[in-house]
Amino acid sequence: VKSEGPKLVPFFKATCVYFVLWLPTSSPSWFSALIKCLPIFCLWVFLLAHGINFLVSHRSASRILAGLMFSAVGDAFLIWQEQGYFIHGLLMFAITHILYSSAFGMKPLDLKAGLLMGLVSSSCYAFLYSYLSGPFTYLVAVYIALIGFMGWRAVAGVQLCNDLWTWTKLSACIGAMLFMVSDLTIALNKFCFPVPYSRFIIMATYYAAQMLIALSAVESRDEEDFRKRS
Considering only 83-87, 121-125, 135-139, 162-166, which range has the smallest mean pLDDT? Answer: 162-166
Name beta bridge partners: 159: 164
pLDDT reported for residue 19: 98
- Of 160 and 27, more confident: 27
Res 230: pLDDT:
41
Total length of the chain: 230
Compute the radius of gyration of the chain from its Cα atoms. Answer: 18
Q: Which residues contact 91 (CB under 8 A, 6 or more apart)?
A: 74
Q: Whole-prediction pTM value?
A: 0.93
2 pLDDT above the threshold of 90: no
For the segment 66-94, the average pLDDT, to the nearest whole number, is 97
CA atoms within 13 A on the CB side of 148: 19
pLDDT at 218 over 90: no
> 39 vs 27, which has greater pLDDT?
39
* Overall average pLDDT of the 83-108 stretch: 97
Alpha-carbon distance of 111 to 168, in angstroms, equals 21
Q: Of the candidates 216, 225, 226, 228, which has an alpha carbon nearest to the alpha carbon of residue 46?
A: 216
**Which whole number is the average pLDDT over 102-114?**
94
Alpha helices (H) in 157-193, listed in sequence order: 167-187
Return the amino acid letter for 190: K
Residue 162's pLDDT is 65
CA distance 184 to 180: 6
Predicted pLDDT at 226: 40
Buried b (16+ CB within 10 A) or exposed e, 160-169: eeeeeeeebb
Confidence of residue 112 (pLDDT cuts 50, 70, 90): very high
Query: Could you give the CA distance from residue 97 to residue 52 in angstroms, rounded to a whole number?
Result: 23
User: What is the C-alpha separation between 37 and 59, in angstroms, rounded?
Assistant: 24
